[in-house]
Amino acid sequence: MVPLLKAKWIPVCHNLCMCGRYNLHDMPSLEELKVILPLLEEIFPPARRHNVAPGTDISAVFMPDAEAPPRLDTLWWGYRPEWAGDSAPQPINAKAEGVTTSRYFKGAFAKHRCLVPASGWYEWITTAEGKQPHYITREDNRLLWFAGIFARRADDKLGCAIITEPARGSAQDVHDRMPLCLTDDSLTLWLDPDLTDRETIRNVVKHVDADAFTHWPVSRKVGNVRNDDSSLIEPI
């Protein structure tokens, strides 16, 4: 179950944010997507990116308004609702434990939820030789869907944050948190604007099993966002 608890969270973004870098190197066809997202009507094929960083446009499935069908388009990775003002923080993550109760997030959680497709994500482990990046992905190489929220920003962009939860399975070896990865049969429910109650969503939306994940060390080149090629996910 999605752990939507009652703890409060002050939105901040700093170097310890998680998830802060991910990979999207493959996408299913529109026909394959419609199997798990039958209401999807528009698709703007995302570019293959091996080093997706905050502060950029990222691929996401979302409903621009409650009457529109879901579409695969882009959102700005940096959440700051227009009512918050220019000095407000721009978190890239929102903790599952507080996303339903924080004034900053709860409106978006109720009405503006999104899905971020990913092949896997990166996290760093501190070692005697320095910080060593690891790539975390599914054992079966299937596409991941990160749960997210979005809001219109003062610059008129739609900005999003990826929801995180306590790390599970082998992901715990690398970091104490991980993106909230949803099962295929939860995707349409997550996007449904008529589902607004926290407990109802908690009862019908499920995350991917803990034993689905694996990870391995990769090149430190991933630390530089200018590096963006398939060698970044190769084991070292």
CA contacts within 13 A on the Cβ side of 117: 27
Across the chain, the runs of DSSP E, i.e. the strands, are: 22-24, 42-43, 49-52, 57-62, 71-77, 93-95, 113-118, 120-127, 130-138, 144-152, 158-166, 177-179, 213-217
65-69 long-range Cβ contacts below 8 angstroms, 24+ apart: 66/111, 66/193, 69/39, 69/40, 69/41, 69/42
pLDDT grade for 67, boundaries at 50, 70 and 90:
confident
Please tell me the least confidently modeled range out of 16-25, 111-120, 187-196. 16-25
Q: What is the pLDDT of residue 12?
A: 36
Please classify residue 75 by burial: count the beta carbons closer than 10 Å to its beta carbon, then call 0-12 exposed, 13-18 middle and 19+ buried.
buried
If one counts every other C-beta atom within 10 angstroms of the C-beta of residue 211, the result is 10
DSSP-derived 3-state class of residue 52: strand
Q: What is the pLDDT of residue 217?
A: 98
Largest Cα–Cα separation, the chain: 54
| pLDDT confidence bin for 7, thresholds 50/70/90 | very low
Whether 152 shows a pLDDT value over 80: the answer reads: yes
Contact (CB, 8 A) for 161 and 91: yes
The tens digit of pLDDT for each residue in 156-172 reads 999 999 999 999 999 99
Task: Tell me how crowded residue 220 is: count the other CB atoms within 10 A of its CB.
Answer: 16
